[in-house]
């Protein structure tokens, strides 16, 4: 056996030339590549999970949650930005109806019956309305109103004074003219008999969100007898919160 023969070879291999036989098992490169890819994927997954945990505990998802529930977007904080829209909503609220003592009514008679305008005007005054002109209807409407009556006023008060006065008698026709004031014309027609009862008129006004006026005391009522002054001073009314 040659001295160049590695021990344990038993003379099976003979070294010839200038190259030695390779004793190591050849490397499996495929396994190395797969192992490297697996390690990289595991590190990436661990990093992504850590980032999600940090985002949850730091409250980074509040913006998305608030936007989903309508509690404020990116420009608001904790949903408090919705309060800024309240003034706009209040601006869209309907204008409150005027009280009868804020409405001036001109009463005109378009029928052949005499004194009808004054009787109606006196009753409206007792119900709290202010009375303007009282007399016969203008030539444009005299003897030409076939229904119960006609209400005339500016377009701006169609949902205000005209609506309130319409509760005092049913079946009236409402028209707008070119006037700019807030007074209302009530022209009594051929079918007019009398105003609706005060109870029915107040109920209709309340259902519309209005405030009925208290009935004014009659001027013909006898004054109440005078009473002697009480020697005991009246106790002051308790303060209201």
103-135, pLDDT tens digit by residue?
Answer: 999 999 999 999 999 999 999 999 999 999 999
Rounded to the nearest 10°, the torsion over CA 114, 117, 119, 123 is: 170
Q: Nearest CA to 185 among 119, 110, 115, 126? A: 110
Do 183 and 124 form a contact (C-beta atoms < 8 A)? Answer: no
* pLDDT at residue 221, as a whole number: 43
**Residues with Cβ within 8 Å of residue 13, at least 6 apart in sequence:** 5, 6, 21
**Sheet containing 173-176, strands listed edge to edge, beginning at the edge strand earlier in sequence:** 130-136, 104-109, 184-188, 149-153, 173-176
Whole-angstrom Cα distance, residue 101 to residue 162?
14
Is the pTM value of this prediction over 0.85?
Answer: no
Q: Is the pLDDT assigned to residue 239 strictly greater than 90?
A: no
* pLDDT at residue 172, as a whole number: 93
Pair of tokens at residue 97: 């109806």
Q: Is the pLDDT assigned to residue 152 strictly greater than 60?
A: yes
In this prediction, residue 204 has a pLDDT band, given cuts at 50, 70 and 90, of: very high
Percent of the chain with pLDDT over 90: 45
Pair of tokens at residue 232: 């005991």
Whole-angstrom Cα distance, residue 160 to residue 137?
23
* pLDDT at residue 67, as a whole number: 42
């Amino acid at each position: 056996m040659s001295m160049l023969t590695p021990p344990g070879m038993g003379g099976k291999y003979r070294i010839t030339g200038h190259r030695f036989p390779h004793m190591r098992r050849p490397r499996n490169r495929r396994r190395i590549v797969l192992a490297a890819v697996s390690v990289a994927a595991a590190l990436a997954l661990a990093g992504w999970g850590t980032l999600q945990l940090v985002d949850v505990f730091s409250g980074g998802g509040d913006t998305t949650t608030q936007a989903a529930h309508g509690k404020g977007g990116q420009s608001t904080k904790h949903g408090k930005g919705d309060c800024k829209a309240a003034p706009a909503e209040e601006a869209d609220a309907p204008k409150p109806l005027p009280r009868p003592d804020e409405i001036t009514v001109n009463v005109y008679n378009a029928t052949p019956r005499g004194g009808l305008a004054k009787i109606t005007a006196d009753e409206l005054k007792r119900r709290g309305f202010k009375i303007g002109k009282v007399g016969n209807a203008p030539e444009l409407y005299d003897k030409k109103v076939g229904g119960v009556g006609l209400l005339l006023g500016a377009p701006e008060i169609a949902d205000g004074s005209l609506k309130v006065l319409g509760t005092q008698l049913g079946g009236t026709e409402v028209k707008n003219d070119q006037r700019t004031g807030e007074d209302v014309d009530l022209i009594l027609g051929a079918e007019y008999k009398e105003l609706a009862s005060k109870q029915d008129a107040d109920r209709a006004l309340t259902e519309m969100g209005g405030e009925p006026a208290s009935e004014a005391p009659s001027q013909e009522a006898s004054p109440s007898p005078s009473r002697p002054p009480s020697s005991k001073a009246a106790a002051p009314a308790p303060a209201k919160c």
